[in-house]
Structure 1
Amino acid sequence: MNTTPLMDGPVRDRIIADPDLLLDDQDIMRALVGANEKAMGGNIVDLRGIAMERLESRLDRLEDTHRSVIAAAYENLAGTNQIHRAVLRLMDATRFETFLRDLSGDVADTLRVDVMRLVLESEGDGDDPTIRQLGAVLNVGRPGFCDSYITRDRDIPVRVVTLRQVQGHGTEVYGERAADIRSEACLKLDLGAGRLPGMLVMGSEDPHLFTPQQGTDLLTFFGGVFERSMRRWLSAGV
């Protein structure tokens, strides 16, 4: 047997002093296992090597899952912070006009949506000059408009929060911005006993900002805060 070292002295000494360097390197370990299989010949099945490959594959899947969970947690935390900042901004308003202006301005910017619209159902005339003075953010629709818009006139249950991708949709809500909207969130609003319902619509030019596969917990919370604020404003006689 040849006892003459075949490896450079410093490298060999480093490996002997700290063999974990090899054990922790998947590429090196894979190469060593492959060399061992070649040395045993083609008619021998190395069950230990097969088991190692399966364990490596399982470890890779676990690491991918771990990264996905961490990424989802950070995304959820960022979304929670956005909703909290938007809610605080809504609570700052001392006049209804300011409330609506903030809705289409700072609140929309905080939530990173391109268009924000508040729709109130009414049996009256939506062309009231007082309503027009409140800006494009406030739309008035006929009774039943909100459910019709959310379901697109289909016979399906009306959810509190509806997320979907759209195109060429919602002219009656977005006006001239409708052509740019690619996804939207529709929040059904309960404005209290004796009042017709309302709807808060968030539109985005990003087709992936709102999709049906996303969770709705944060937007449900935001909608609950918003509808309570609206009840307060409506009780004040705005």
Structure 2
Amino acid sequence: MSSTALIDASLRARIISEPESILEDAEVMRALVAANERSMGANIVDMRGIAMERLEARLDRLEETHRSVIAAAYENLAGTNQVHRAILRMLDPVEFETFLDDLDGEVAAILRVDAIRLVLESAQAEQDPAVERLGGVLRVVEPGFVRRHVSARAGEEAVRPVTLRQIDAGEPRIYGDRAAELRSEACLRLDLGAGRLPGLLLMGAEDPHQFSPQHGTDLLTFFAGVFERAMRRWLA
């Protein structure tokens, strides 16, 4: 080894006094390993260097997975808090008209959806004046509409309590003037109790990625369960 110093004396002294600063810097270590490989020549295979590269690649993948898991956990927590706030708001009203107004007002704002519609099947589906006075949230439809609407784009009879899908536009009969703006939809099937026809709670969003079949439905299933119980109270 040459006794001639090839680097600045102060830098050399610092490296000797704090070698851990070199070991903890990944870029510096990679540069040192690469320099070592070049000094050995092209005919020598550095197995230790290859092992280090593989370990670094695995560490990078683990760190990326770790970040993804943390991000998903925060997203799930935020979604849970969002649904809980919406449920508390939904349970506040003491009058049915206020309950409906809040659905497409405060509740929709909390859930960050652009439209909410409550669809109820009835043997007498004509929209009477009493229903019209309840605002634009409630829609009364003929028996069988719920199943047809949920399975219309799925191509099969849907039996899941919650269906998430992307759409070209909402159903004008349901969403009215907002229909053309909607690009994704959540369909929450409602069991309103023995002797009653099924219902449907629809959430429409302008964002085509807000509701997708790849998304989980646990929180919306819970929301639908609470909504069913609230509706049974109003219909009692």
Output the CA distance in 2 between the equivalents of 1:24 and 1:178: 57
Pairwise CA distance, 1:166: 0.5
Q: Residue 67 of structure 2 corresponds to which residue in structure 1?
A: 67
**3-state SS of 2:185 partner:** strand
Write the mapping of 1:85-100 to structure 2, written as runs, cut at 5 A.
Answer: 85-100=85-100
Give the letter for the 1:23 counterpart. Answer: L
Equivalence for 1:29: 29
Q: Output the CA distance in 2 between the equivalents of 1:4 and 1:158.
A: 81
Once the two structures are TM-superposed, the CA of residue 158 in structure 1 deviates from its matched residue by 2.2
Counterpart amino acid of 2:143? P
Alignment RMSD, CA only? 1.1
AA aligned opposite 2:222: F
1:14 CA displacement = 2.1
Deviation at 1:37, TM superposition (A): 0.7
Please report the TM-score for the alignment, with normalisation by the length of structure 1: 0.96
CA distance in 2, matches of 1:4, 1:115: 77
Answer yes or no: is the 8 Å Cα contact 1:191–1:227 preserved in 2.
Answer: yes
Residue 15 of structure 2: SS of its match in structure 1? helix
Runs of 4+ in 1 over 4 A off after TM superposition: none
Query: Corresponding residue for 1:42?
Result: 42
CA distance in 1, matches of 2:178, 2:235: 28
Q: Would you say the 8 A contact 2:164–2:213 is kept in 1? A: yes
Is 1:189 aligned to 2:190, yes or no?
Answer: yes
Corresponding residue number in structure 1 for 2:176:
175
In structure 2, C-alpha distance between the alignment counterparts of 1:108 and 1:189, rounded to whole Å:
18
Per-residue deviation at 1:152? 0.3
CA–CA distance in structure 2, aligned partners of residues 51 and 161 of structure 1: 48
Q: Structure 2, unaligned stretches of length 5 or more?
A: none
Superposition deviation, residue 6 in structure 1: 1.9
Alpha-carbon separation, structure 1, partners of 2:206 and 2:50? 50
Find the counterpart in structure 2 of residue 130 from structure 1: 130
State the SS of the aligned residue for 1:184. strand
8 A Cα contact 1:164 1:211, kept in partner? yes
Tell me if the contact between 2:120 and 2:200 (Cα under 8 Å) persists in the aligned partners.
yes
Q: How many angstroms apart in 1 are the aligned matches of 2:181 and 2:80?
A: 27
Structure 2 residue identity aligned to 1:226:
F
Identity of aligned residues (%): 64
Deviation string 1:164-193 (CA, Å, 9 cap, x unpaired) is 110134112111111100101000000000
* Secondary structure at the counterpart of residue 235 of structure 2: helix
Q: Deviations over 1:102-160 (max 9, x none)?
A: 11100000000000000000011432100000011000111010110000073333210
Distance 2:217 2:21 in 1: 47
TM-score, scaled to structure 2: 0.97
Contact 1:164 1:185 in 2 (8 A): yes
Question: In structure 2, how many angstroms separate the alpha carbons of the residues matched to 1:208 and 1:132?
Answer: 32
Task: Report the 3-state secondary structure (helix = DSSP H, G, I; strand = E; otherwise coil) of the residue aligned with 2:189.
Answer: strand
The aligned amino acid for 2:232 is R
Equivalent residue of 1:73, what SS?
Answer: helix
3-state DSSP of counterpart to 2:31: helix
Instruction: Name the CA distance, whole Å, in 2 between partners of 1:185 and 1:157.
Output: 13
Partner of 1:106: 106
- Please give the alpha-carbon distance, in whole angstroms, between the structure 2 residues aligned to 1:186 and 1:9: 72
Instruction: Give the SS at the match of 1:116.
Output: strand
